[in-house]
C-alpha cells in the first residue's frame, strides 16, 4: 500500500496556542508501529540538523496510561484531569503534582502515591520488561497490549539508530483528549529560562549564557516576542524552567472519523514542530558568541527586485520572472511607486541578502545594479549575466 503522508507549512498556526507550527502526518493502515517509528526518526533528523544541542524524545502510550490509572484505582472520569497534572512533572516537583492530584483532582492520597510509584519512572526496554512483570498492570488488558507495542517501537528505534535519543517516560501525558496510542515529545536538554531577567535568557549545559539580545538596555520587539514564546509554560517568579517541548505528537486513529458522517476510521500518526520556539532558541544561540553565530531569517527570499524610480512595474515583473525561471527566490514590492530606501530597508529587516536595483539609465544600457545588502557593495551587471552573477554571489555567501 502506498503511504499517504502530508505536511503543512510553518505558518500553520494552532488554534489552541496561536503559535506557528510545522506539521507532518502519515495516514492509512500500515504495519504496527512502523509509521510511528518513522515519525520519531524524522524528529531526530530535523533536530540533529538544526544543531541546537543535546535533546531527548520522550515516548509513552495512551492505553498504557489508561491501564496504569485503572490499576491505581482512579475513576475513569478523572483519567484526563489526572493526566494533565502528571504531565507537569517536567516543570514542578512530584510533591506539587501529588498535592494537585489530591486537592484539585479529588484523588485519595493512596491513589496519588500509587501513581507516583509509576510516573517517575523512565528508561527503555528495561522499563518495558519491568512493567511487563508488574502484577497490577498484568491485570489491565490495555496496559499489556500497549507494552507490547512499546517494545516493538523501541526495537524499531534501535534499527533506525535513534535509540540513544529515546526515553520511555511514564510522566508524558499530553493530548489525551484525542491521542489513541503512542505519544511523544522532543525536549532540548540542558537549557533553562529565567523570566526574572530582562529577556529570554537561556543557560546551556556547557554553562554558556545564551541571551536573545537581552544585554541591550532596550529590548527590541523581536526580543519581547522571543521572551513571550519561552514564557509559554507557567513558572514562578525568580525560578528557572526548562525550555520545554520543541516538537510533539502521537497516534490519533479516531480524530479524522469525527469529521466523517459515516464515522470511517482512518489510522493517523503525526507530529508538529513549534517553529517560533525553535527560532527563538536558534536566535539565542546565535547571539551567545561569534563562535556559534548563525543566521536566522524570517524569509527564504534571496533577492529583492527593486525600482530606483517611479513605475518600472513591467520591468520589475520581467526581472522577477527571469529569476523565478532560474529557481532563484525573488520578490518585489506590490506598490506602484515604492521608494528605493523603503525597499532596501525591507531587505535589511527581513534578511534578504541581495537586491537587484532597476534604473532607467541602467536599463537603457541593458544593465542592472546588484546590491549586497550586508556590505552595501554594488555591481553593475549585464542583464544577460544577472542570473549567473546572483548564483555566484549566493554560493559564496552560503559557504561563509
Q: What is the pLDDT of residues 43-58, one digit of tens each?
A: 999 999 988 888 999 9
Q: Which domains does the chain have, with CATH numbers?
A: 2-201+243-288 (3.30.930.10), 303-399 (3.40.50.800)
For residue 7, give the C-alpha cell. Answer: 505536511
CA dihedral 69, 75, 79, 82 (to 10 degrees): -90
CA triple 30-35-38, angle to 5 deg: 150
Residues belonging to the binding site are: 25, 174, 178-179
Which is nearest to 13 in space by CA: 280, 297, 278, 274?
A: 274
- Give pLDDT, residue 15: 42
This prediction's pTM: 0.65
- Per-residue pLDDT of 119-142, as tens digits, reads 999 999 999 999 999 999 999 999
Task: Select the more confidently predicted residue: 353 or 230.
Answer: 353
For residue 22, give the C-alpha cell. Answer: 510545522
Within the chain, residue ranges assigned H as helices are: 34-50, 62-71, 79-86, 94-103, 109-119, 125-132, 135-138, 141-159, 221-230, 275-288, 313-325, 340-350, 360-364, 386-398
Q: What is the mean pLDDT of the chain?
A: 81
Contacts of 100 (CB under 8 A, 6+ apart): 85, 88
Contacts of 80 (CB under 8 A, 6+ apart): 176, 177
- Give pLDDT, residue 239: 40
pLDDT band at 369 (very low <50, low <70, confident <90, very high): very high
Contacts of 324 (CB under 8 A, 6+ apart): 330
- Give pLDDT, residue 206: 35
Residues belonging to the binding site for L-histidine are: 25, 174, 178-179
Which is nearest to 70 in space by CA: 146, 148, 153?
A: 146
Residue 168 has pLDDT above 60, yes or no: yes
- Per-residue pLDDT of 222-256, as tens digits, reads 444 444 443 443 333 334 444 568 999 999 987 77
| β-pair type (303-307, 354-358) | parallel
For residues 195 and 237, is the Cβ–Cβ distance under 8 A? yes
* C-alpha dist (Å) from residue 95 to 70, 82, 99, 332: 21, 14, 6, 57
For residue 360, give the C-alpha cell. Answer: 532607467
Look up residue 175 and give its DSSP letter: -
Find the farthest-apart pair of alpha carbons in the chain and give their distance in angstroms, rounded: 86
Rounded CA-CA distance 184/272 in Å is 11
For residue 336, give the C-alpha cell. Answer: 506602484
Amino acid at each position: 500500500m502506498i503511504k499517504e503522508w502530508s505536511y503543512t507549512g510553518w505558518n500553520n498556526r494552532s488554534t489552541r496556542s496561536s503559535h506557528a507550527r510545522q506539521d507532518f502526518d502519515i495516514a492509512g493502515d500500515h504495519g504496527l508501529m512502523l509509521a510511528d517509528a518513522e515519525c520519531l526518526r524524522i524528529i531526530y533528523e530535523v533536530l540533529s540538523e538544526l544543531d541546537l544541542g543535546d535533546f531527548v524524545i520522550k515516548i509513552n502510550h495512551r492505553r498504557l496510561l489508561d491501564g496504569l490509572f485503572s490499576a491505581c484505582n482512579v475513576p475513569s472520569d478523572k483519567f484526563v484531569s489526572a493526566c494533565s497534572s502528571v504531565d507537569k512533572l517536567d516543570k514542578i516537583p512530584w510533591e506539587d503534582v501529588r498535592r494537585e492530584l489530591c486537592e484539585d483532582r479529588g484523588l485519595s492520597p493512596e491513589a496519588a502515591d500509587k501513581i507516583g510509584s509509576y510516573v517517575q519512572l523512565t528508561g527503555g526496554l528495561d522499563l518495558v520488561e519491568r512493567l511487563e512483570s508488574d502484577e497490577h498492570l498484568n491485570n489491565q488488558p490495555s496496559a499489556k497490549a500497549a507494552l507490547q507495542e512499546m517494545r516493538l517501537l523501541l526495537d524499531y528505534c534501535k534499527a533506525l539508530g535513534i535509540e540513544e535519543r529515546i526515553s520511555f517516560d511514564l510522566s508524558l501525558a499530553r493530548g489525551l483528549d484525542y491521542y489513541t496510542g503512542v505519544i511523544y515529545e522532543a525536549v532540548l536538554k540542558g537549557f533553562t529560562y529565567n523570566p526574572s531577567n530582562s529577556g529570554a535568557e537561556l543557560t546551556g549545559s556547557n554553562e554558556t549564557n545564551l541571551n536573545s539580545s537581552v544585554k541591550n538596555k532596550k529590548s527590541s520587539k523581536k526580543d519581547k516576542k522571543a521572551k513571550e514564546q519561552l514564557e509559554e509554560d507557567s513558572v514562578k517568579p525568580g525560578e528557572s524552567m526548562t525550555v520545554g517541548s520543541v516538537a510533539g505528537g502521537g497516534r490519533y486513529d479516531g480524530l479524522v472519523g469525527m469529521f466523517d458522517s459515516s464515522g470511517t476510521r482512518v489510522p493517523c500518526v503525526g507530529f508538529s514542530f513549534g517553529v517560533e520556539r525553535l527560532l527563538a532558541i536558534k536566535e539565542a544561540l546565535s547571539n551567545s558568541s561569534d563562535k556559534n553565530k548563525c543566521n536566522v531569517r524570517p524569509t527564504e527570499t534571496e533577492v529583492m527586485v527593486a525600482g530606483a524610480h517611479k513605475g518600472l512595474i513591467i520591468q520589475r515583473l520581467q526581472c522577477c520572472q527571469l529569476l523565478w525561471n532560474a529557481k532563484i527566490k525573488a520578490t518585489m514590492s506590490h506598490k506602484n511607486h515604492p521608494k528605493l530606501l523603503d525597499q532596501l530597508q525591507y531587505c535589511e529587516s527581513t534578511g534578504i541578502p541581495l537586491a537587484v536595483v532597476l534604473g532607467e539609465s541602467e536599463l537603457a544600457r541593458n544593465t542592472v545594479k546588484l546590491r549586497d545588502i550586508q556590505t552595501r557593495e554594488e555591481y553593475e551587471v549585464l542583464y544577460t549575466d544577472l542570473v549567473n552573477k546572483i548564483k555566484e554571489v549566493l554560493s559564496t555567501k552560503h559557504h561563509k
